[in-house]
Amino acid sequence: MAFNGHQREDENIEEDETPTKQPRSDKEMPDDEAAAPAGRDTSDRRTSNSTARLRSDSVKKTRPPFPWFGMDIGGTLVKLVYFEPKDITAEEEQEEVENLKSIRRYLTSNTAYGKTGIRDVHLELKDLTLCGRTGNLHFIRFPTHDLPAFLQMGRNKHFSSLHTTLCATGGGAYKFESDFRTMADLQLHKLDELDCLIRGVLYIDSVVSSGPSECYYFENPTDPDRCIQKPYTLENPYPLLLVNIGSGVSILAVYSESNYKRVTGTSLGGGTFLGLCCLLTGCSTFEEAIEMASQGESTRVDKLVQDIYGGNYERFGLPGWAVASSFGNMMSKEKRESVSKEDLARATLVTITNNIGSITRMCALNENIERVVFVGNFLRVNTLSMKLLAYAMDYWSKGQLKALFLQHEGYFGAVGALLELLHPS
């Protein structure tokens, strides 16, 4: 039995005004002058300054040359993160080769690339320090089927003259490895996608200190009139269940950054939703499918408990509005003729989301974990599914399970790949 999506209308979410989240560590290294006790002699300060210079020189020698990228090549989308340095000195700018300037200008002066590439400006992280450099982190996505155009762009801009190896994760890092080599003259350093996912989640949550909190939840998810989005601090996050909803779904039990296991997964994920919507409604993009679903009514398509029992199934506490059979009403020719494409899209969304929620809840019970974090590009522009998941977790667990969501949704694997470039594990 599952939710029908009707109880979870897509209301506007009120964002509570709460203090912005502070970085996990507020320890700041004092400069040498301030840190020196009164009376310390000049030679001690010289030694300290010399040590600092040596450390700085060491960092410069070990960090890779620009540009800095991390890439996650999924079954549906390619996610790219790019670090744009903002502290370039006059000397560096004079020595910088034209190819590097061209790539930086192209990526940062556009918000769209071709017909399908998008830079998610609202997710950009400003004034971030990585490997001793300060800059902005940009988040870019495009459909996997357009990867050849990306490789051609890299070839045209002579990317291989700057880098010979690109850190990449996701199944496409294996599938398209030869294409990178032959079309763009690039080698891929292939990384485990689940390692990158967890590393990226924990890193982004630790550095977001201004603007909306990275992590949030829905308060009062079972009451549509009072349901609001609230910030949540992921300090001391373990254990947690991490549910990655991409083309398919992987569910991880995470006990520390290095101690986790894949509990299970399902092939019914975001790719299933979009594929079925394309077949049933004729839509062609995820955004179009979500827009159609937001205007539809799934109860015209699904068979509910009340359609079978005439009301609630009280013995087992099943409400009449719960879904007894997804698409069950479509056995009737009369009902098939009365539903709209929007209804079919909404029912597809509800079916996929309910299935993910049901499997997640069983995993949480088996692993004895009460905190569940949902990530992945299926949740992009998809408040319907987020609220339905929050409702399901809260309702069926009687308030014991909390569904958490993250602002950067599907980019964590790419962030993890970038971190491996800068700090090899």
**Which of 263, 259, 258 has its CA nearest to residue 241?**
263
Quote the distance between the C-alpha of residue 325 and its chain's center: 31
- Which structure tokens are listed for 229? 């989005």
DSSP-derived letter for residue 36 is S
Q: For strands 371-375 and 323-325, give the pairing.
A: unpaired
Residues in the chain: 425
What values do phi and psi take at 64, rounded to 5? -75, 160
CB 260 within 8 A of CB 268: no
Give the C-alpha separation, 219 to 213, whole Å: 15
What values do phi and psi take at 37, rounded to 5? -65, 155
Q: Over the range 74-98, which residues count as b (16 or more CB within 10 Å of their CB) and which as e?
A: bebbbbbbbbbeeebeeeeeeeeee
CB 372 within 8 A of CB 340: no
DSSP-derived letter for residue 38 is T
Tell me how far apart the 2 most distant CA atoms of the chain are, in Å. Answer: 92
Q: Over the range 149-158, which residues count as b (16 or more CB within 10 Å of their CB) and which as e?
A: bbbebbeebb
Active-site residue (options: 193, 214, 342, 420): 193
Give the C-alpha separation, 35 to 40, whole Å: 10
Active-site residue, 193 included: yes
Cα of first residue to Cα of last residue in the chain, in angstroms, is 44
- Which structure tokens are listed for 266? 């399902």
Q: Helices (H) and strands (E) in the chain — how many of each?
A: 15, 17
H/E element, 418: helix 412-422
DSSP-derived letter for residue 2 is B
Give the other-Cβ count within 10 Å of 398's Cβ.
7
- Catalytic residue numbers read 193
